Structure 1
Amino acid sequence: MRFFRRLASTTVAVTLVLPLPYEAMAHARVHAAEAEAQPEEPFGAACRIRVTGSHVTAYCHNPYPETDRVSLHVECARWWDLDSDGSEVNAGPAQTVRLSARCWKEVGSVWISHRRES
């Protein structure tokens, strides 16, 4: 009886140690299409946002050679205050643009959206 217990525990230990088939193992696979694809060039203007009371000002500088279309979005804190989505502004290569908006009372949140020029 003791022999079978040892044999059973040894069998379990061996099966846990044996490696899994290659297809079942988690590993990074590089497909031919991904290997041939060129890395995407960096894109997007760097933006600084300043909130002063109910006024929002953002400065976006685009250091890249491709034009970035930036837009300022402001969500006001009060439920009755209108949120605003600014129009898109072209930030050309090595250009800094200024975006501004305001709420009647407090500002809830602010963000900038980026889009490639089509």
Structure 2
Amino acid sequence: MRLSRSLAPVTVAVCLVLSLPYDALPHARVAARQATAAPEEPFGAECRTDVRGSRVVAYCHNPYADTDRVRLHIECDRWWDLDTDGTPADAGPAQTVRLTGRCWKEVRSAWVSHQKL
């Protein structure tokens, strides 16, 4: 008898916690607060990359108020051809920047990285 009397409050507490809705649990409230936080301001230039043979040209237009530092990265297809990381260029508000680079032979991939100033 004593064992069942000591387990009764624990059993009731466990049942109450398990019957709570998901939103009432503490970790759900933290996630909800993070989801309702103020949205970040839009950022990042829109870039178009064109690969023709061994040459790469990227045009990046920044429609936002913050300056975006963009950089062209090129990965060459041949093992002996050096991959390149171009010099960074600052794309100011409403400004278009042209980035160029090349490989000796074929280009495997090319992409543009962004950095907020």
Q: Same fold (TM over 0.5)?
A: yes
* Residue 82 (structure 2) pairs with residue 70 (structure 1): no
Let me know the Cα RMSD of the aligned residues.
2.5
Offset at residue 39 of structure 1 (A): 1.2
* Residue 43 (structure 2) pairs with residue 43 (structure 1): yes
Q: Percent identity?
A: 63
Question: Equivalents in 1 of 2:73, 2:109: separation in Å?
Answer: 8
User: 1:79 corresponds to which residue?
Assistant: 79
After TM superposition, the structure 1 = structure 2 runs for residues 1-118 of structure 1, keeping only pairs within 5 Å, are: 20-22=18-20, 25=22, 28-30=28-30, 34=34, 37-117=37-117
SS for the counterpart of 1:42 is coil
Q: Please, which runs of 5 or more residues in structure 2 have no aligned partner?
A: 1-16
Residues 44-83 of structure 1 deviation map (CA, whole Å, 9 limit, x = unaligned):
0000000000000000000000000000000000000000
SS for the counterpart of 1:98 is strand
- Partner amino acid, structure 2, of 1:21: S
SS for the counterpart of 2:18 is coil
Offset at residue 87 of structure 1 (A): 1.3
Question: Equivalents in 2 of 1:35, 1:97: separation in Å?
Answer: 34
Offset at residue 33 of structure 1 (A): 6.0
User: Normalising by structure 1, what TM-score?
Assistant: 0.73
Question: Equivalents in 2 of 1:33, 1:83: separation in Å?
Answer: 43
User: Normalising by structure 2, what TM-score?
Assistant: 0.74
Q: Please, which runs of 5 or more residues in structure 1 have no aligned partner?
A: 1-18
Equivalenced residue count is: 98
Question: Equivalents in 1 of 2:43, 2:116: separation in Å?
Answer: 8
Question: Equivalents in 1 of 2:46, 2:39: separation in Å?
Answer: 20
